[in-house]
Structure 1
Amino acid sequence: MSDDAAHAQADQLKQQGNDAYKKREFQQARDLYQQAWDTFQDVTYLNNLAAVYFEEGDYDKAIETCEKAVEEGRERRADFKLIAKAFGRIGSSYVRKEDYDNGIKYLQKSLTEHRTPDVLAKLKDAEKQAAEKARLAYIDPAKADAAREEGNTAFRNGDFATAVTHYAESIKRNPEDPRGYTNRAAAYNKLMALPEALKDAEKAIEIDPAFVKGYIRKSHVLFAMKEFDKALAAIETAAEKDTAQAHTKEITQQFSKVTSSMASSRAGETDEQTYARAMRDPEVQQIMADPAFQSILQQAQQDPKSLQQHMMQNADVRKKVEVLVRAGIIKTGPR
C-alpha cells in the first residue's frame, strides 16, 4: 500500500474514532486511533489516543502516549502545533494528578512551541491551584498561635515593625483566625500605616462578624484617621455585638474619646460648614444623591414623625439616617 493510500485509510479510522469519542465510546475510540497509528504514523493519531486516556482518567497512560507523540513528532518533523498539543495534554494530566510542578512545566513547554489562549488559561489556573495547595499546606493553628505570641512580645517591647512580621506569619498559618488581623491592625496603627490597619480590621470583621475586637480595632483606626463619625459607628456596633459585656470598659472609653473629639472638632460649626464637611465623605455623598431618600427628607421637613416611621419600616433608611446623624447633617432624630 502506498503512503497516500495508507494515510487516507488511517484518516478514515481516525474519523471513526472521532465519532466514537463524541459518543463517549472510549474503548472503541482507543482501538480506532491505535489502528490509525499502526496504519500510518501521523502524530495526530497519538494525540487523539492520549485524549481518550485523559477522558478515561488514565493520566499516566495519557502522559506516556503524549511523550511518544513528542518523540515521534520530533523525529518526523511534525507541525510544532502538534508538539505543543502533546505537551499541553501532558501538563493537563499532571495537573489532574495534582502534580502542579510538572503540570506547570509542561504547559509552559506547550506555550514555547505554540502560544494559545486555551493553554495560557490552563497555565494560569494551574499556577493558582499550586499556590492554593501550598497555602493550605502551610496552615498550622499551633504555629499560628506561637507566631502571634511572638508578635505580642514585640508589640509590648515597642518593636511594631517586627510585630507586623510575626502577625503576618500568624495570618499565613491560620488565615481564618481574626485575631491575627486585629493584632496586626494595632501594630500598623502604631506605625501610622492607617489604610493597612483599616483593611486588617475590616478583614477580621469579614471573617467573624461577631468578633467584637474587630469593631473596636476599626474604631481606633478610624479615630486615628480623624473620621470620627465612622469611628463612632464602629464602636456603637462593638457595643451591640458585645452581648456578654466582656469589653464594656474598653468600649466605654473609646466611645467617650470619640464623642469628645467629635464635639471638639465641630465646635462653632455653622450649618453650611457642617454640610460641606459631611459632603467630603463619599458615603454621605451617595446618600444625599439618592432621589428616593431625598424625597423622604423633604417629607420629614413637613412631617418630622414620618422619618421615624420610615426608619421603623425600612432598615436601609434607618442606616442612612444614622450616617447623616453622625455626620451632623440631621440634627435631631433617633440614634
Structure 2
Amino acid sequence: FFSGLHMADELKAKGNAAFQAGDNEQAVNWFTQAIDLAPTNHILYSNRSAAYCADEKYAKALDDAIKVTEIKPDWAKGWSRKGAALHGKGDYAGAIEAYSKGLEIEPSNDACKKGKEDAQAAQVNAGNSGLNPFGKIFGPDVWVKIGMNPKLKPYLDQPDYVNMIKMMQANPQQMTMFLQDQRIMQTFAALSGLNFDMAGAGEGDDDEPAPPPPPKPEPKKEAPKKEGLPGQNEADRKKEEGNAFYKKKEFDKALECYEAALEACPTNSIYRINKAAVYMEMKDYDQCIACCDEVLEKALDYRTDGQVKAKALARKGGALQKKGDLDGAIAALKSSLVEHRVADTLTKLRAAEKAKKDADIAAYLDDDKAAEAKERGNEFFKNNKYPEAIAEYTEAVKRNPKDHTFFSNRAAAYMKMGEYNHASKDCDSALELSPDFVKAMTRKADCFYWTKEYHKALEWYQKSLKIDPDNQQLREGIERTMRQIQASQGQEMDEDQVRRAMADPEIQALMSDPVLQMALRDFNENPAAAQRHLQDPGMRAKIDKLIAAGVIRTA
C-alpha cells in the first residue's frame, strides 16, 4: 500500500513537470495514473483539472474540480479550479459563485479574486454583446455556422483562428483588432450575409466543375492581360465535360475527357488528380497512385501549387490504405498535411492510424506465445519476483486479451506489490470475460479488505459465496472482515477510510437518504425509536453498510 502512495507521488511530480513544460496531454496521463493509485488525493484531481483547462477541455476540467470540492470542500483552490472550468464553458454566473465560495474559505486567495473579476467582466461583455453590431455574428452558434461553411470549416484546425473567434465571443468589441486578418474578414462576410469576396480566401474543389465567373466589362484603357497557359481554355472545357461524366459514374468517358485536357495543357496537374479520382472510384488503386506520383514528380518543373500537391498526397494515401499499405498511407497523409492542412485529411489520417494500431494488435495475437508468457509469469510469481511476473502477464494479455486468467494472475501480482487499484481493475477485466470466475471475485474482495473498504469487501465475499458456497477461503474472508469492522468500532475514526468511503457513490446516496438520516438521529436522541429502525431488514442493511464502511461508530 505504501509503495503505491510513493509511486503516486512520483507520478504527480512527472505530471507537474509535463504541465510546466506545456505538455498538457502528457500531464493528464501522469495525473491519471497517480489518481489510479491514490483516488482520494484531492491535489491530483486539482492538478489534472488545471491541465484539462489549459488544453481547453473544460467539461473534463469541471468534473475533476467538482471531485476536488467533494473530497476537500474547505480548500479554496478547489473552488478556484471549478470557477476556471465554468468560466471556460461560458457559465460566468456559475464561475462567480464558485470563486465566491473560495473567497469565503480564504478571503485573501489571489486566484479566486482575479478569477471572480475576470468572470464578472466576461458576464458584462456577454450581456452587452447584443448592443454591439458584431455580438450576434459571433454568438454561441458561431461554431456550428463555421463548421457548415465549406470555405470556413478548414480554419477550425488553425489554433490562432480559433483563439481569435473565442476572444471576439468574449468581447465583440475586439473585432476591430483583427480586421487585418483575411480569415476573420472572410468569416465576417460569410456569417453576416454580405455579398463580397476576399482575395485568396478559400479554395474551391478542383475535382468538381466550378461555375464560370460573371463577365466583367473591360476598362477602356487597360494594359493587355497576360494569357493563361497554352491550351488552358480548351483543357478547362474538357475538364468540365469530364466532371459531368464523373458525376454520372461514366468513368471511361470521364478519363477520355481528362486525357484530352492534359493533351491541351499538360502542365496543369489538376487534370492528373481528376484522373486519380476516377481510378479510385474504379478501384484501380495502382493507377490512382501512379497519377498522384506523376503530379509529385513533376511538381517542381510545373511549379505546382502546395494545395494541389496536398490533394495528390491525400488521394495517394487513400489508395494506399485501400491496398492495405497503412504505413504508406499514414506517411502520405502526413505529408499532405505539411503541404496544406485540411480537416478532412486530418480525419483520414486519424482513421488510418487507428486502423494501423488495430492491425498491429491483431498481428500480435498468438495463443501459444500467450500461454508461454503466462508460464514465465507464474515462475516469477513463485520466486517472489512480482514486477517481472507483471511484465510477463502483460505480455500474455497482449498476445491473447480474451483469456480471463491472465488478468486474474496479474491482479495477484499487483496485490503483492500493494497496487490494489490496478489489481481491482484487472479483476474487473477478468470478470467481464468470465462473470462467475470466483478467483477474480475473491481477489477483488481482498483488494477492498486491504484498502479498508470493508463494506465492499463483505459485498464481494458474499457475492462469491453464492456461486461457490463450499469455498472456505471466502468464509474466512467474511469472518476476517467482520472482526476488523468490530475492532474498528472501539478505535478512533480512520480519516483515510472515511474519505474513501465518502467517495463511493453508494455511500453518498445512503448519507443523502432522509429516512436513514432520521434513523441515525434517533440513535443519539431516541433509542426506543432506533430499535424499531433496526427491526426493518432494509434499514438494518443500510446501517450495517455504513458501519462496515467506517462512516458511523457504534461505540
Shorter-chain TM-score range = 0.7 to 0.9
The answer on 1:29 being equivalent to 2:251 is no
Map 1:162-241; keep pairs closer than 5 Å: 162-241=388-467
For 2:345 and 2:484, locate their aligned partners in 1 and report how far apart those are by CA, in whole Å.
58
Give the structure 2 partner of residue 314 of structure 1: none
**Is the partner of 2:298 in helix, strand or coil?**
helix
Give the structure 2 partner of residue 140 of structure 1: 366
Q: Taking structure 2 as the reference length, what is the TM-score of the superposition?
A: 0.51
Give how far 1:324 is off. 5.4
Gaps spanning 5+ residues in structure 2: where? 1-226, 523-528
Q: Which has the higher helix share?
A: 1
Map 1:91-102; keep pairs closer than 5 Å: 91-102=317-328
Give the structure 2 partner of residue 264 of structure 1: 487
Conserved 8 A contact 2:376-2:392: yes
**Is the partner of 1:232 in helix, strand or coil?**
helix
Give how far 1:213 is off. 2.0
Give the structure 1 partner of residue 332 of structure 2: 106
Conserved 8 A contact 1:182-1:200: yes
- Post-superposition Cα deviations, 1:158-205, rounded to whole Å, max 9, x if no partner, equal 111111111111111111111111111111111112222122112212
The answer on 1:38 being equivalent to 2:263 is yes
For 1:320 and 1:117, locate their aligned partners in 2 and report how far apart those are by CA, in whole Å.
54
Distance 1:253 1:296, change over 3 A: closer
Give the structure 1 partner of residue 379 of structure 2: 153
Gaps spanning 5+ residues in structure 1: where? 312-316
Give the structure 1 partner of residue 53 of structure 2: none
- Post-superposition Cα deviations, 1:268-309, rounded to whole Å, max 9, x if no partner, equal 689xx9x9678623313542476xx6579879x99979x87x
1:34 corresponds to which letter in structure 2? E
Q: Taking structure 1 as the reference length, what is the TM-score of the superposition?
A: 0.81
Give the structure 2 partner of residue 255 of structure 1: 478
For 1:277 and 1:285, locate their aligned partners in 2 and report how far apart those are by CA, in whole Å.
11
Give how far 1:119 is off. 1.9
For 1:145 and 1:27, locate their aligned partners in 2 and report how far apart those are by CA, in whole Å.
55
2:366 corresponds to which letter in structure 1? D
Conserved 8 A contact 2:453-2:501: no
For 1:46 and 1:189, locate their aligned partners in 2 and report how far apart those are by CA, in whole Å.
62
For 2:382 and 2:498, locate their aligned partners in 1 and report how far apart those are by CA, in whole Å.
41
Give the structure 1 partner of residue 509 of structure 2: 287
Conserved 8 A contact 1:147-1:170: yes
For 1:297 and 1:20, locate their aligned partners in 2 and report how far apart those are by CA, in whole Å.
76
1:147 corresponds to which letter in structure 2? A
For 1:248 and 1:214, locate their aligned partners in 2 and report how far apart those are by CA, in whole Å.
14
The answer on 1:57 being equivalent to 2:286 is no
For 1:321 and 1:241, locate their aligned partners in 2 and report how far apart those are by CA, in whole Å.
26
Runs of 4+ in 1 over 6 A off after TM superposition: 275-278, 295-299, 301-305, 319-322, 328-331
- Post-superposition Cα deviations, 1:25-84, rounded to whole Å, max 9, x if no partner, equal 333333322222222221111112111211222211111111111123232011011111
For 1:283 and 1:253, locate their aligned partners in 2 and report how far apart those are by CA, in whole Å.
28
For 1:203 and 1:11, locate their aligned partners in 2 and report how far apart those are by CA, in whole Å.
60
Conserved 8 A contact 2:408-2:439: yes
Distance 1:211 1:25, change over 3 A: farther
The alignment covers a number of residue pairs equal to 316
For 2:461 and 2:412, locate their aligned partners in 1 and report how far apart those are by CA, in whole Å.
16
For 1:84 and 1:4, locate their aligned partners in 2 and report how far apart those are by CA, in whole Å.
22
The answer on 1:116 being equivalent to 2:342 is yes
**Is the partner of 2:436 in helix, strand or coil?**
coil
For 1:252 and 1:55, locate their aligned partners in 2 and report how far apart those are by CA, in whole Å.
67
For 2:544 and 2:288, locate their aligned partners in 1 and report how far apart those are by CA, in whole Å.
63
